[in-house]
């Protein structure tokens, strides 16, 4: 298709990766249009538990650098929590210890320490980390993009060649499976139960290696998010009532007050898992450039700003392929 909008960048995808990347571009003076098949509130990002912590993402070294950049942004945004949806919240990361694998974050997260026996019955860490209210955060990202004169268009894309711009940024997440196509991107299904918060103020993540389960609870201003599941290669978006009951029971075993909490909603999200994040510049035969930024697994929120800034840099004419 003939390029009729020289100098413009089209970002395909309106999840946290797409919107953050679009903001990074727009605030750097680039004319940006976001093409979104679904509104942000219907993306996988809207379902995310959204605790800042690297989860199911490779390569580790790059992911840690992206995560630390994002952490700095979230710490700043937490100063306007009601607007941005970002809060710094204390909690327990079960089955974790301060060792060499966590040396990269040990000096960066204030107050990171071993949890006491009263805080958790087992080896765990106590930390104060960003916790995002994703519906609120996605709304804020959208408004920030519009203030920077970016635009958002409801549009389904069957082929990246449809984008009539010299530079396209592919932030389609799981959609890249068909769109690129990239069969190495696959879903890891996560089911959540949303309940009324019975007064819980701290988050908790607990892993049972024997049962193969990860249980978590994340307090949001108007609800408590309970999880979860890691169902490999499962494309179903339909909540399973049996699984939902199991999630509530596992969470209640950790915090008994959850047992009587009224259920508000059931949600399912498909994490876009890949052996490693694809963040690279591709020059097409017709000279157009595609910057790929997808495959972040369950850590899209954690690395969003670091990846967005790198992707924005790759749109520059002097960037290497």
Residue 302 annotated as part of some ligand binding site: yes
Given this model, what pLDDT does residue 258 score?
98
CATH no. for 1-88+130-185+274-321 = 3.40.50.720
Secondary structure element (H or E) that encloses residue 112, with its range: none
Domain range list for the chain: 1-88+130-185+274-321
d(CA 308, CA 321): 17
pLDDT at 41: 83
What number is the average pLDDT over the span 79-95?
A: 97
The CA–CA distances, whole Å, from 195 to 14, 133, 149, 192, 224 equal: 27, 15, 37, 10, 5
Residue 294 annotated as binding site: no
Residue 57 has pLDDT above 50, yes or no: yes
Q: Is 172 annotated as a binding residue?
A: yes
CA angle, residues 183, 268, 74, in degrees to nearest 5 = 90
The alpha-carbon radius of gyration of the chain (Å, integer) is: 20
- This prediction has a pTM of 0.95
Ligand-binding site membership of 297 (annotated) = yes
> Taking 50 as the threshold, does the pLDDT of residue 2 lie above it?
no
**Residue 6 three-state SS:** coil
> Which residues on adjacent β-strands are paired with residue 225?
194, 218
Report, as an integer, the average pLDDT of 53-68: 92
Q: Which pLDDT belongs to residue 6? A: 53
Q: Please report the pLDDT score of residue 321 as a whole number.
A: 53
From the list 267, 308, 306, the residue with the least C-alpha distance to 71 is 306
- The pLDDT value recorded for residue 54 is 86
- 300 is known to lie in a ligand binding site: yes
Average pLDDT over residues 74-78: 98
Q: Give the pLDDT confidence of 135-170 residue by residue, as tens digits.
A: 999 999 999 999 999 999 999 999 998 988 999 999
Helix, coil or strand: residue 162:
helix
> Any known ligand binding at 45?
yes
Residue ranges of the alpha helices (H) in 125-278? Answer: 134-147, 176-179, 241-254
Residue 286: predicted pLDDT: 87
- What is the tens place of the pLDDT at every residue in 199-236? 999 999 999 989 989 999 999 999 999 999 999 999 99
Q: How are the residues of the chain apportioned to helix, strand and coil, as percentages rounded to the nearest 5?
A: 35, 30, 35
Summarised one tens digit per residue, pLDDT across range 115-126 is 999 999 999 999
pLDDT at 1: 36
Task: Classify residue 118 by burial, with Cβ atoms within 10 Å: 0-12, 13-18, 19+.
Answer: exposed
Contacts of residue 279, Cβ cutoff 8 Å, sequence gap at least 6: 62, 292, 293, 307, 310, 311, 314
Structural contact between residues 193 and 248, judged by C-beta atoms closer than 8 angstroms? yes
Q: Mean pLDDT of all residues in the chain? A: 94
Share of the chain above pLDDT 90, in %: 84
Strands 223-227, 167-170: pairing is unpaired
* 271 annotated as ligand-binding: yes
Confidence at residue 48, expressed as pLDDT on a 0 to 100 scale: 87
**Mean pLDDT across the stretch 54-79?**
95
For 241-278, write each residue's pLDDT tens digit: 999 999 999 999 999 999 999 999 999 999 999 999 99
d(CA 304, CA 130): 13
Q: Could you tell me if 133 and 203 are in contact, meaning their C-beta atoms sit under 8 angstroms apart?
A: no
Can you give the pLDDT at residue 152?
97
With contact defined as beta carbons under 8 Å apart, do 295 and 59 qualify? no
Over the stretch 288-317, which tens digit does the pLDDT of each residue have? 999 999 999 999 999 999 999 999 999 987
DSSP alpha helices (H): ranges in 14-132?
Answer: 16-26, 60-77, 81-84, 103-106
Cα separation of 253 and 16, whole Å? Answer: 32
Segment 17-38, tens digit of pLDDT? 999 999 999 999 999 999 998 8
Judged by DSSP in three states, 207 sits in strand
Q: Known binder of ligand: residue 216?
A: yes
Does 202 appear as a known binding residue? no
Task: Quote the CA–CA distance of 194 and 117 in Å, as a whole number.
Answer: 28
Kind of pairing between the strands at 289-294 and 167-170: parallel
């Amino acid at each position: 298709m003939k390029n009729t909008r020289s100098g413009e960048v089209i970002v395909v995808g309106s999840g946290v990766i797409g919107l953050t990347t679009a903001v990074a571009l727009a605030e750097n003076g680039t004319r940006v249009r976001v093409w979104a098949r679904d509104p942000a509130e219907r993306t996988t990002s809207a379902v995310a538990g959204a605790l800042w912590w690297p989860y199911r993402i490779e390569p580790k070294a790059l992911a840690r650098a992206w995560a630390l950049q994002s952490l700095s942004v979230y710490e700043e945004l937490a100063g306007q929590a009601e607007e941005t949806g970002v809060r710094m919240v204390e909690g327990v990361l079960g089955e974790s210890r301060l060792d060499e694998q966590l040396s990269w974050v040990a000096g960066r997260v204030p107050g990171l320490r071993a949890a006491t026996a009263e805080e958790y019955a087992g080896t765990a860490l106590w930390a104060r980390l960003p916790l995002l209210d994703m519906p609120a955060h996605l709304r804020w990202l959208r408004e920030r993009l519009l203030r920077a004169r970016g635009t958002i268009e409801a549009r389904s894309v069957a082929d990246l060649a449809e984008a009539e711009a010299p530079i396209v940024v592919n932030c389609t997440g799981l959609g890249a499976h068909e769109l690129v196509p990239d069969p190495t991107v696959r879903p890891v299904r996560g089911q959540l139960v949303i309940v009324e918060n019975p007064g819980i103020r701290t988050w908790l993540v607990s892993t049972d290696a024997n049962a193969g389960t990860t249980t978590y609870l994340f307090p949001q201003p108007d609800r408590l998010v309970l999880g979860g599941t890691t169902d490999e290669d499962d494309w179903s978006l339909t909540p399973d009532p049996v699984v939902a009951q199991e999630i509530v029971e596992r969470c209640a075993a950790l915090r008994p007050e959850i047992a009587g909490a009224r259920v508000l909603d059931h949600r399912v999200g498909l994490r876009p898992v890949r052996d490693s994040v694809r963040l690279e510049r591709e020059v097409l035969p017709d000279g157009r450039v595609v910057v790929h930024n997808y495959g972040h697994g369950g850590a899209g929120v954690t690395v969003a700003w670091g990846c967005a800034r790198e992707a924005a840099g790759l749109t520059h004419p002097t960037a290497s392929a």
